[in-house]
């Protein structure tokens, strides 16, 4: 640690060194925002508060893929279309909730539909 003139420790240097020891040198977590979702896309995140794994698409997805299947906990619709989420691949199993309108977002899905989506349709009108 560096000493300032007069032989005293610099508080900022001490705080930085202490933080590195406590965290094992790991960088602090970066805040995530729903603005991570690109314009004209529908985006989903693995966890509440738009955190965790992230998936983005400008078109319908018959299968969101193994990385996000049954793992959606928050979403944002930045498209000008309606989005309908389904339980199963190829838009099967029924809708998990009402269609999401343009600009719709939720930082936390209700417990009964959390982590249940496998596919979604982007359409000009609501399907659910």
Domain for residue 96, yes or no?
yes
Residue 15 structural domain: 1-29
Q: How confident is the model at residue 10 (pLDDT cuts 50, 70, 90)?
A: very low
Res 29 pLDDT > 80: no
pLDDT tens digits for range 110-126: 999 999 999 999 999 99
Domain for residue 128, yes or no?
no
Considering all CA atoms of the chain, what is the largest pairwise distance in Å, rounded to the nearest integer? 73
Domain for residue 46, yes or no?
yes
Model confidence, pTM: 0.74
Q: Do residues 21 and 54 both lie within one domain? A: no
- SS3 for 110? coil
* % of the chain exceeding 70 in pLDDT: 75
> What average pLDDT does the segment 52-72 reach?
95
Buried b (16+ CB within 10 A) or exposed e, 46-82: bbeebbbebbebeeebeebeeebbebbbbbbbbbebb
Domain for residue 16, yes or no?
yes
Q: Do residues 22 and 56 both lie within one domain? A: no
Domain for residue 12, yes or no?
yes
Q: Do residues 19 and 43 both lie within one domain? A: no
- SS3 for 21? helix
pLDDT at 45: 95
What is the tally of structural domains in the chain? 2
């Amino acid at each position: 640690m560096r000493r300032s003139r007069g032989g005293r420790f610099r508080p900022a240097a001490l705080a930085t060194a202490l933080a590195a020891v406590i965290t094992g040198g790991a960088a602090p977590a970066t805040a995530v925002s729903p603005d991570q979702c690109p314009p004209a896309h529908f985006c989903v995140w693995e966890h509440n508060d738009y955190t965790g794994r992230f998936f983005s698409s400008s078109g319908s997805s018959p299968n969101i893929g193994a990385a996000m299947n049954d793992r959606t906990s928050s979403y944002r619709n930045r498209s000008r279309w309606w989005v309908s989420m389904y339980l199963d691949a190829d838009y099967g199993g029924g809708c998990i909730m009402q269609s999401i309108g343009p600009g719709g977002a939720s930082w936390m899905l209700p417990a009964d539909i959390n982590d249940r989506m496998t596919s979604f349709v982007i359409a000009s009108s609501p399907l659910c």
